[in-house]
Amino acid sequence: MDLLTIGQIINTTLVFATALIFASLGGIFSEKSGVTNLGLEGFMVFGAFAAGIGAHYAQEAGMGGTTSAWMGVLLAIVLGVLVSLIHAVASITFKADQIISGIVINFLAAGSTLYLVKLLFEGSGDSPLVQGFSKFNVPFLENIPLLGEAFFKNVYPTTYLAILFVFLTYYIMFKTPFGLRLRSVGEHPSAADTVGVKVRRYRYVAVMISGALAAIGGAAITLTTTGTFSHNTVSGQGYIAIAAMIFGKWNPIGAFGAAVFFGFSQAIRNYVQLFEWSQSIPQEIIFMLPYLLTIIVLVAAVGRSSAPSALGEPYDPGKR
């Protein structure tokens, strides 16, 4: 394989990974605070939906392609935060089972976004095509061999944003008082409580950030890949994001690595088909590849994963 192809594979990998990165970072915020988030898929769906209609109406209002795409992202954030409150209220205030509450989000997302699309666009099953983000080249850097092809040519702003968020998340989690408190709430809520950290408040904020980030992930899909929102825009990536988060041991850098790995194994599935020998293998085997690879890596590399201790437990100050 030549350098050019390798660079291109990396490039495709990153496009696939972008949404996963956002969503798995979202998962990390929520779960580090002790709230299981099986609703990532739903948040992504809401985000993809909001991006689709947000960008559409912004375009209708005469905004340019990129500006309208950012409006879509903005709307995705707003909606992501709003619906994350459902998860928060149920699982934090009313102490519902967090797994169930996350699954509820997925149900509501599947139902309500399509319902709304139909109401807004006269019965249509998907939102109108929007321009979304454009690919761009970074001057000069694009000419570096391999790296240029991989990271600076034909890139989307969302990819850079995702990588920025990885470091931002890392910084917030491990360098700031907010991060320390957030993690303490997920590890030992009553310890946090007894030193005056408002457990529920931190969990609310964490879940809201989670909703926002996952929604940006969904928005990235609409605005870079599909151009419209329909029932299959997200199609299971939220679950892959959960896998990436667990795989990455709830660490932003780890989750980033896992998301890139998943992106890579998706990208490779197309490249493999370019080889003559691949014609003799049934396609299904090639399609299985990413998932098989994941299991193999899990078995080989990762031992027991280190979830936050209080993950999934509603905080009840009366209980010891």
Partner 1 sequence: MGAATPVVELKQITKRFPGIVANDAISLQLQKGEIHALLGENGAGKSTLMNIVFGLYQPDEGSIEVNGKPVIIDSPNRAIDLGIGMVHQHFKLVQPFTVTENIILGSEPTKGLNINYKKAAAEVQRLSEQYGLKVNPHAKIHDISVGMQQRVEIVKTLYRGADILIFDEPTAVLTPQEIKELMVIMKKLVAEGKSIILITHKLKEIMEISDTVTIIRRGKVIDSVKTSETNPNELAEKMVGRNVTFKVDKKPATPGANVLEVSKLMAKNKEGIAVLNDLNLNVRAGEIVGIAGVDGNGQSELIEALTGLRKVDSGSIRLEGKELSNHSPRHISEAGIAHIPEDRHKHGLVLDFSVSENIVLESYYKEPYTRKGFLNFDAIKKQAKRLVEAFDVRTPSIETKARSLSGGNQQKAIIAREVDKNPELLIAAQPTRGLDVGAIEFVQKQLIAQRDQGKAVLLISFELDEIMNVSDRIAVIYEGQIVGEVLPEETNDRELGLMMAGSTQKRGTVHE
Partner 2 sequence: GCGSKPKEETNAGGDNGGTSTEAKSDVQIGMVTDVGGVNDKSFNQSAWEALQATETETGAKVKYLQSKSDEEYIPNLNEFVKGGYDLTWGIGFQLADAIKTVAEQNPDSKLAIIDSVVDAANVKSVTFAEEEGSYLVGVVAGLSTKTNKVGFVGGMDSPLIKKFEVGFREGVKAVNPKAEFISNYTGAFDKPDLGKAAAATLYNKGVDIIFHASGATGNGVFNEAIARKKQGQDVWVIGVDKDQSLEFGDEVTLTSMIKKVDEAVKRVNKEVVDGTFAGGSENLTLKENGVGIADTSSKNVSPEVLAKVDEYKEKIISGEIKVPTE
Partner 3 sequence: MNKVLKWFTRDSFILPVVAILMGLILGGIVMLIGGYNPFEAYGALFKKVFGDMYNFGEAVREMTPLIMTGLAFAFAARAGLFNIGGEGQFLVGMTAATFVGVKFTGLPIYIHAPLALIAGAVFGGLWAAIAGYLKAARGVNEVISSIMLNWIGLYLANLIVRQFLLLQGENRSVDISESASISLTWLSELMGNSRVHMGTLIALVMAVLFYIYMWKTKQGYEIRAVGYNPNAAEYAGMHVNRNIVKAMFISGMLAGLGGAFQVLGVFQYQTVMSGSPGTGFDGIAVALIGLNHPFGVLLGALLFGTLTYGSAGMSFAADVPPEIIRIVIGSIIFFIAAQGIVRWVLKPFYSKRKKEKVL
Ligand X SMILES: Nc1ncnc2c1ncn2[C@@H]1O[C@H](COP(=O)(O)OP(=O)(O)OP(=O)(O)O)[C@@H](O)[C@H]1O
36's torsion region: left (phi>0), alpha (psi -120 to 50) or beta? beta
| Listed ranges 55-63, 79-87, 205-213, 221-229: which one lies at the site for partner 2 (CB under 8 A) | 221-229
Q: How many CA atoms lie within 13 A of 126 on its CB side?
A: 14
Task: Catalog residues that contact ligand X under the rule CB under 6 A.
Answer: 318-320
304/319 with CB nearer ligand X: 319
Furthest C-alpha separation in the chain: 66
Residue in 90, 173, 182, 192 binding partner 3, rule: CB under 8 A: 90
How far, CA to CA in Å, does 194 sit from each of 183, 188, 190? 15, 10, 6
- Of residues 281 through 310, those in contact with partner 1 by CB under 8 A are 309
Residue in 65, 66, 67, 112 binding partner 3, rule: CB under 8 A: 112
The C-alpha atoms of residue 312 and residue 7 are separated, in whole angstroms, by 41
- Beta-strand runs (E) in 86-201: none
3 state SS of 203: helix
Asked if 170 is part of the footprint of partner 2 (rule: CB under 8 A), the reply reads no
- Of residues 188 through 227, those in contact with partner 1 by CB under 8 A are 188, 190-197
Contact partner at residue 164 from partner 2, partner 1, ligand X, none, CB < 5 to 8 Å by partner kind: none
Asked if 169 is part of the footprint of partner 2 (rule: CB under 8 A), the reply reads no
Smallest gap, in angstroms, from Cβ of residue 295 to partner 3?
Answer: 5
Residue in 36, 228, 265, 294 binding partner 2, rule: CB under 8 A: 228
Give the CA dihedral 197, 97, 236, 257, nearest 10 degrees: 40
Residue 249: how many other CB atoms lie within 10 Å: 18
Asked if 294 is part of the footprint of partner 3 (rule: CB under 8 A), the reply reads yes
Residue 150: how many other CB atoms lie within 10 Å: 22
148/179 with CB nearer partner 1: 179
Residue 208: how many other CB atoms lie within 10 Å: 21
The DSSP output letter for 120 is: H
Asked if 268 is part of the footprint of partner 3 (rule: CB under 8 A), the reply reads no
Contact partner at residue 8 from partner 1, partner 3, partner 2, none, CB < 5 to 8 Å by partner kind: partner 2
The C-alpha atoms of residue 193 and residue 303 are separated, in whole angstroms, by 32
Which residues here bind partner 2, judged by CB under 8 A?
5, 8, 11-12, 15-16, 41, 45, 106, 110, 114, 118-119, 122-126, 129, 132, 134-137, 154, 221, 224-228, 230-236, 238-240, 266-267, 269-271, 273-274, 283-284, 287
